[in-house]
Amino acid sequence: MNRRDLEELVSVSEWPCVSVIVSLERRAPASLANGTRVKSALKRAARALRGEELEPEEARPILAGLAELARASGFGGFAPGPPRGAPPLGLPTDLTMPGADGLGLYMSPTFARALAFDFAVKERVVLDRVFATREVVLGLGLGVRWRALVLSPGHARLLEGFRDRLRDEPVAALDEEALPLVLVGFPDDVAPYETRPDVVSVIQGRHERDTAAVLGARLWPTVAREIEARRRARVADELDRGFKSRRVILGLERVVLASRAGEGAVLLAEEDIALPLVDELVDQVIASGGSVELVPSGSLAAQGGVALLTRFPIAEAA
């Protein structure tokens, strides 16, 4: 999953755009329980389409496409077979990563995509004229990515993490992108790096032989606390600067109107907010060249869960 996936999802605007989000058990990706969840989600999508009273010739290719996406994602035994004579979508097989925590199936008359999520998701089926992109935005958020630099005499090992999952990266990638960094090693080993602005914690000890899974489980709780604090501080700072420059819009109705007019530079929304219009807002802001930050729950409680930073100062009322 990358920024291009998000941009392509946002570029689609037609009826119906069906988004199916399924929670998976990462330790058993091909289990009966995961397959049952996918099958149940596809049934809910079928009921939702029937509830919209689509003509059979309109609904049939959408349902066939969702089933093919499920099969290509490794759940062929739980998805219905294609209708007789239905053309295949030509999707690659095994789209999900081993141990994914969630699966997103996106289908419209002209678009099909399956994405794996490396974090827990809430199951939902959404029918709209745009895709539900909240999970993709959250997955791409810098707030849940981090790095660990494991140091020992004459050796350095860099790992990149998404929540509690780490994977090895070339050490040269350390300066390619600013991400929260945890230093691991004895004082003499970590001393040359401690003044870096991206360092959030230092863990002392010898851990160069630990596996990525062991390091992730050990380091993530510390990193999570620091990331949460930084995300909340960043939201407060952005709102403060926005208020001072008269570039903040509050209230869902006003945010919707400004977003539709292409005025949004940054949309701030709580990551678990239940407002139906949030997915539409995400799409509109990104499509107009803005950015979206899904922030910790409660960060925008006083603002109703959503706020918009505009490109230009808001004209004062006469």
Choice among 1-10, 73-82, 131-140 with the minimum mean pLDDT: 73-82
The string of pLDDT tens digits covering residues 272-316 is 776 667 777 887 888 788 888 877 778 788 888 889 999 888 876
In a domain, 235, yes or no: no
- In which domain, by residue range, is 257 found? 245-310
> Does one domain contain both 13 and 117?
yes
Does a structural domain hold residue 96?
Answer: yes
In a domain, 137, yes or no: no
Of 104, 130, 156, the residue that ends a domain is 130
Q: Are residues 10 and 120 in the same domain?
A: yes
pTM score, two decimals? 0.66
pLDDT in tens, 225-275: 887 787 788 888 888 998 999 999 998 889 989 988 889 898 888 877 766
Average pLDDT, the chain: 83
Judge if 217 and 252 occupy the same domain: no
CATH of the domain at 261: 3.30.1330.30
Tell me, yes or no, whether 123 and 154 share the same domain: no
Give the pLDDT of residue 142.
Answer: 44
Share of the chain above pLDDT 70, in %: 87
pLDDT band at 79 (very low <50, low <70, confident <90, very high): low
Task: With beta carbons less than 8 A apart as the criterion, state whether 264 and 308 touch.
Answer: yes
In this structure, are 152 and 196 located in the same domain?
yes
- Mean pLDDT along residues 204-222: 89
Which of 73, 95, 130 terminates a domain? The answer is 130
Residue 9 shares a structural domain with residue 126: yes
- In terms of domains, do 220 and 255 share one? no
Same domain, 122 and 58: yes
Q: What is the pLDDT of residue 88?
A: 52
Task: Indicate the burial class of 205 (C-beta count within 10 angstroms; 0-12, 13-18, 19 or more).
Answer: exposed
pLDDT, position 111: 94
The whole-angstrom separation of Cα 111 and Cα 125 is 17
Indicate whether 58 belongs to any domain.
Answer: yes
The closest of 200, 206, 199, 168 to 185, measured between CA atoms, is: 206
